[in-house]
Amino acid sequence: MTPDNAPELQTSGWLNTDRPRSLRDLRGKVVVIEAFQMLCPGCVSHGLPQAGRVAEAFSPDEVAVIGLHCVFEHHDVQGRREALEAFLHEYKIEFPVAMDEPSDDRIPKTMAAYQLRGTPTLLLIDRKGRLRKKAFGLTSDLALGAEIMSLMREPFSPEGSEEAPEAPACGEEGCLIPNR
């Protein structure tokens, strides 16, 4: 996948946070977004618990975990904020959760912008704000952890500052320290 800038989240509300989040504000962090529906069995059994494990395993200074509630079916039940609040409470989901903004179509706006096939879908965004992974269905914890660590090791320079040091060059024979 060639990295493209990740589309901004289009939301109608946020839960588990005192302020809305934007991908622009999260630059410098690896962002893990778990797109889910509360009535999706795979989301409840795999996607959301995995997002919770990521939030526990990595420092929030390095990795931001966000749930994205994408209602594309059973709108009358799943589209209610109170229902989502109760769901998050019952399943002890503590990371920030965005409510995808509904559209005139049955597919909500962020879900459409990312061209998601369904839920659960994992989105992985690098520290420069580029979409690096879009995975529908189950993702291995081990593979995801390795991908997050790989993105954390990539050089990053905030706008207007010096370039970050070069990362070690790794190959089959090992890793070489970059020239200084």
Whose tokens are 């879900």? That residue is 111
Asked whether residue 97 carries a pLDDT value surpassing 70, the answer given is: yes
Tens of pLDDT along 106-154? 899 999 999 999 999 999 999 999 999 999 999 999 999 999 999 999 9
**Terminal-to-terminal C-alpha distance of the chain:** 31
Go through the domains of the chain in sequence order and give each one's CATH number: 4-176 (3.40.30.10)
Tens of pLDDT along 21-57? 999 999 999 999 999 999 999 999 999 999 999 999 9
Asked whether residue 162 carries a pLDDT value surpassing 50, the answer given is: no
Q: Which of 28, 71, 30 is nearest to 158 (CA)?
A: 28
Quick one: pLDDT at residue 171?
A: 54
Residue 108, burial from CB neighbour count under 10 angstroms (0-12, 13-18, 19+): buried
